[in-house]
Structure 1
Amino acid sequence: MIVLGDVEYYKGIGKIEYEGKESDNPLAFRYYNPDQIVAGKTMREHFKFAISYWYSFGGNGSDLFGDATQHFAWNEMREPILAAKARADAAFEFISKMGFDYFCFHDYDLVQEGKNFGQSELRLVTMTEYINKKISNSGIKVLWGSSNCVSNPRYMNGAATNPDFKVVARAAGQVKLALDATIALKVENYVFWGGREGYMTLLNTDMKRELDHMGQFLIQARDYGRSQGFKGNFLIEPKPMEPLKHQYDFDCATAIGFLREYGLEKDFKINIEVNHATLAQHTFQHELEVAAQSGMLGSIDANRGDYQNGWDTSQFPNNVQEITEAMLIFLKSGGLQGGGVNFDAKIRRSSTDMEDIFIAHIGGADTFARALLAAEKIITSSPYESLRQQRYSSFDTGSGKEFEEGKLNFNDLYAIAKENDEIELQSGKQELFESILNRYL
């Protein structure tokens, strides 16, 4: 019989420590040194690494073509509350051993959804109280909470955008409970991912009406959260498609435009997932730049896709060059605004040892840390910044500066064009920039 709180689930694995890049210990950090100062902050402060509750403690290796391969004790229990408490015990043990400070959750990651709304509410309240005690005892915090308004069949046509008002109201009730749990757990952010807010075909879709409903839904959610004392960021997590053909939060630019249209830009920021960026045919760094330029770079879901597959494979990050380019934007924009780096990634179906989840998170943390170190050196010790500034130097003085300041009209530009006649080509030096990046990896 399992006694809750008394079981060590990850036996034989102690606290993960930083040992430096020469270490050959697979259960040690080589680059992530939480106390190391980089660009004026510790790595711990820069990243605020978080564990995703759903993949790390709810995953079992099953996929569309096969049953579970990962059999963990907390997932084998049948009674929902006992199973949820055992999962919480395992989660806090794992996060403590990793030395991270945060985790992220959806409402029904914490406990199985009930047979009806009332039972679901009671279960969620029960688990919120249980987890609150574990937070108090451990010092571990929650980076963001969310609600799963995707998986249940009632949401097959969307939640906030569903054509049936009863479903919209049910989604609002579910989000209210998730916000209540978020506030009770002193969570720092709340995420909306509209997994089924979109369409499969426009033949049966009134897009304008659905977008208006989604805007009204988010306005009401914001107003409720603020009325209950929630002071953190609300976050939108863009994704272009999958499971739907087209989702309304397609990418950062689309989500930012939506937020501005419905007057939500002061309360909402963007939670950017690497794999969702690539599904939208963007790079991760492109999405970071778009959000940063709008002052909405809120948080990051760290993972990667398989570049040969067109779906969300949610693998742990390991591409140092890709993340270094992202960290250049991260540092130049002043970092994240309220959020952190959540490992929204799962170990592979064939990874079945208890240590595999540790190795995966260690590798992800080291990838981000190594990229941060490289990006800081590129900015401070290479010609990278001066070359970028030189490329736009014609706007720093004279007519170029007057143009940026709005002092020239089209007749002025015509006169300058006529005076200059033919223009000498200026190289973009792309290969040099790429060479500088590689030099510091």
Structure 2
Amino acid sequence: MTYFPTIEKIKFEGKETENPFAFRYYNPEEMVLGKTMKDHLRFSVAYWHTFVNDGADPFGQGVNQRTWLTDDPMKTAKNRVEASFELFEKLGVEYFCFHDMDVAPFGESLEEFFKNLDEIVELIAKKMEETGVKLLWNTADRHSNPVYVNGAASSNNADVFAISAAQVKKGIDISKKLGGENFVFWGGREGYESLINTDMKLEEENIARLYKMVIDYSNEIDHGDLVFLLEPKPKEPMKHQYDFDAATSMAFLQKYDLTDRFKLNLEANHATLAGHTFEHEIQVARNYDALGSLDANQGDMLLGWDTDEFPTDLYSVMLTIYEVLENGGIAPGGINFDAKVRRTSFEMEDLVLAHIAGMDTFARGLKAAAKLKEDRFFEKIKEERYASYQEGIGADILSNQTNLKLLTEYALKQKNVQNKSSHIEYIKSKLNDYLV
């Protein structure tokens, strides 16, 4: 069966095209700074929003029209595999990501769930071999099942910790079978609703215990090249989640000596929920040499929750890709569209149109960011702004050739310190030129 019968493989036709099912800016083989666009961007489709989301919201039932749905959960799961790889190929996307609960129904027990997973993963492996599409990362959904009501590795119930660990082990086994490049930990319920009844220290230590177990197990099964990714989010569904933002997550990884195998999977909408820009979170990760992968989406700043819109804000995407270029690239991570179509975009073709929009936006952002790098736009601004550290007392400070006594002697001699204007409005105006 063909699930997108009216849609051919999406091709690059240029910005003048009137064909909505064509790329206007994303030309996968176009060279940018010595690499093809597809190698810079490493696009990935998120299984959960694209193939599982039904368009429901807190005020209404699902509206999405999906041709793979049946009354049999396993038949639907098999249909989704066929539909997903059809979409991957038509978009020309080389990677995908999934939670275990996305691809197979849980059934009546953990044992049945694992059996269902084995059957579906065999189909996925076959489709991967046929198409060449690769697994960017997978993860264990340890938040949907009611057993995780009080958390997973952070649960107050040791039996739940064990179930959580079993689910993660299965996920790592699947990763090895499918050649996964990364494995994500998003602690959807790893947090608390009230500190009154929470032993935060114990809960965080138990999370770290699980992470050390997964490192040991991946080495044991000769999957030691697997990169583990921690995904920050400040709230939802818990009032306070332990991996609040990039800086909080890095403090955790450093405290428990996990930085050798763990990096960060950063999401734009999670950044804004934490009160940051996406580029801020990426730069924090870069400063720790811990940028792993990106979940590409955007939030609605007029709404206070995780809306997961497809990214079309070119200004933000340009600054995001600039940080990726400064990082030397994103591999073995990628740009995963952790985004869902709006509830009003309920037709099958909207899945294609939304991904085209996101891919075109990132292509435009890449070209703008590349020009920023070629022009040394930010470097020139910062070199001038911090010029005082290139000589005299500033150079002594950076080279650790001074101390409090010497600095005090110097400061007492300064009679008329002159600061310079940042001219930030002019800089932002010039930055806009790169978007046109």
TM-score greater than 0.5 by the shorter chain: yes
Superposed structure 1 runs of 4+ greater than 6 Å apart: none
Which of 215, 224, 229 is the equivalent residue of 1:222?
215
Question: Does the 8 Å CA contact 1:84/1:110 hold for their aligned counterparts?
Answer: yes
Alignment-mate amino acid for residue 300 of structure 2 = D
Distance 1:269 1:275 in 2: 19
CA displacement at 1:342 relative to structure 2: 0.3
Distance 2:328 2:407 in 1: 35
Question: Does the 8 Å CA contact 2:55/2:62 hold for their aligned counterparts?
Answer: yes
Question: Which residue pairs with 2:288 in the alignment?
Answer: 294
Question: Which residue pairs with 1:26 in the alignment?
Answer: 20
Question: Which residue pairs with 2:113 in the alignment?
Answer: 120
Question: Does the 8 Å CA contact 1:74/1:83 hold for their aligned counterparts?
Answer: yes
CA displacement at 1:383 relative to structure 2: 4.3
Distance 1:278 1:407 in 2: 40
Percentage of matched positions with identical amino acids:
44
CA displacement at 1:382 relative to structure 2: 6.1
CA displacement at 1:133 relative to structure 2: 0.7
CA displacement at 1:78 relative to structure 2: 2.6
Question: Which residue pairs with 1:160 in the alignment?
Answer: 153
Q: Which SS does the other structure have where 1:17 is aligned? A: coil
Structure 1, gaps ≥5 residues long: 1-6
Question: Does the 8 Å CA contact 1:199/1:205 hold for their aligned counterparts?
Answer: yes
Alignment-mate amino acid for residue 194 of structure 2 = T
Which of 180, 183, 200 is the equivalent residue of 2:176?
183
Q: Which SS does the other structure have where 2:368 is aligned? A: helix
Distance 1:271 1:106 in 2: 14
Question: Which residue pairs with 2:305 in the alignment?
Answer: 311
Alignment-mate amino acid for residue 321 of structure 1 = Y
Question: Which residue pairs with 1:4 in the alignment?
Answer: none
Question: Which residue pairs with 2:334 in the alignment?
Answer: 340
Matched, 1:244 2:238: yes
Which of 307, 314, 318 is the equivalent residue of 1:324?
318
CA displacement at 1:64 relative to structure 2: 1.6
CA displacement at 1:412 relative to structure 2: 1.3
Matched, 1:144 2:130: no
Number of aligned positions between the proteins: 434
Which of 42, 45, 51 is the equivalent residue of 1:48?
42
**1:391-436 C-alpha deviation (Å, 9 max, x unpaired):** 1121122321221111111111112212223211111221122112
Question: Does the 8 Å CA contact 1:384/1:433 hold for their aligned counterparts?
Answer: no
TM-score, reference length from structure 1: 0.96
Question: Does the 8 Å CA contact 1:296/1:337 hold for their aligned counterparts?
Answer: no
Distance 1:306 1:382 in 2: 32
Distance 2:376 2:347 in 1: 43
CA displacement at 1:68 relative to structure 2: 1.6
- Pick which of 382-391 and 146-155 moved more: 382-391
Alignment-mate amino acid for residue 128 of structure 2 = I
**1:226-247 C-alpha deviation (Å, 9 max, x unpaired):** 2212212100000000111100
Give the direction of change, closer, same or farther, for the CA distance of 1:281–1:115 in structure 2 (3 Å limit): same
Question: Which residue pairs with 1:134 in the alignment?
Answer: 127
- Pick which of 371-380 and 160-169 moved more: 371-380
CA displacement at 1:160 relative to structure 2: 0.3
Alignment-mate amino acid for residue 314 of structure 1 = D
Which of 333, 343, 350 is the equivalent residue of 1:349?
343
Alignment-mate amino acid for residue 96 of structure 2 = F
CA displacement at 1:197 relative to structure 2: 0.3
Question: Does the 8 Å CA contact 1:302/1:317 hold for their aligned counterparts?
Answer: yes
CA displacement at 1:280 relative to structure 2: 0.3
Question: Does the 8 Å CA contact 1:384/1:436 hold for their aligned counterparts?
Answer: no
Question: Which residue pairs with 1:274 in the alignment?
Answer: 268
Distance 1:392 1:166 in 2: 55
CA displacement at 1:337 relative to structure 2: 4.4
Q: Which SS does the other structure have where 1:300 is aligned? A: strand
Q: Within 5 Å, which residues of 2 pair with 1:187-226?
A: 187-226=180-219
Alignment-mate amino acid for residue 278 of structure 1 = T
Which of 415, 421, 436 is the equivalent residue of 2:409?
415
Matched, 1:95 2:82: no
Alignment-mate amino acid for residue 147 of structure 1 = A
Structure 2, gaps ≥5 residues long: none
**1:5-36 C-alpha deviation (Å, 9 max, x unpaired):** xx001011000011111112111111111111
Question: Which residue pairs with 2:390 in the alignment?
Answer: 396
- Pick which of 411-420 and 293-302 moved more: 411-420
Q: Which SS does the other structure have where 1:25 is aligned? A: coil
Which of 61, 73, 78 is the equivalent residue of 1:80?
73
Distance 2:212 2:182 in 1: 16
Matched, 1:439 2:433: yes
RMSD over equivalenced CA pairs, Å: 1.1
Q: Which SS does the other structure have where 2:348 is aligned? A: coil
**1:345-394 C-alpha deviation (Å, 9 max, x unpaired):** 00011112221111100110111111111111122136442122111121
Q: Which SS does the other structure have where 1:113 is aligned? A: coil
Question: Which residue pairs with 1:3 in the alignment?
Answer: none
Question: Does the 8 Å CA contact 2:65/2:348 hold for their aligned counterparts?
Answer: no
Which of 63, 71, 82 is the equivalent residue of 1:69?
63
Question: Does the 8 Å CA contact 1:315/1:346 hold for their aligned counterparts?
Answer: yes
**1:276-309 C-alpha deviation (Å, 9 max, x unpaired):** 0000011111001100111001100000111100
Question: Which residue pairs with 2:357 in the alignment?
Answer: 363
Alignment-mate amino acid for residue 8 of structure 1 = T
Q: Which SS does the other structure have where 1:331 is aligned? A: helix
Distance 1:21 1:206 in 2: 56
**1:208-266 C-alpha deviation (Å, 9 max, x unpaired):** 11111111111111211222122121000000001111000000000000001011001
Question: Which residue pairs with 1:374 in the alignment?
Answer: 368
Distance 1:147 1:263 in 2: 23
CA displacement at 1:39 relative to structure 2: 1.8
Distance 2:248 2:378 in 1: 30
Distance 1:428 1:367 in 2: 30
TM-score, reference length from structure 2: 0.97
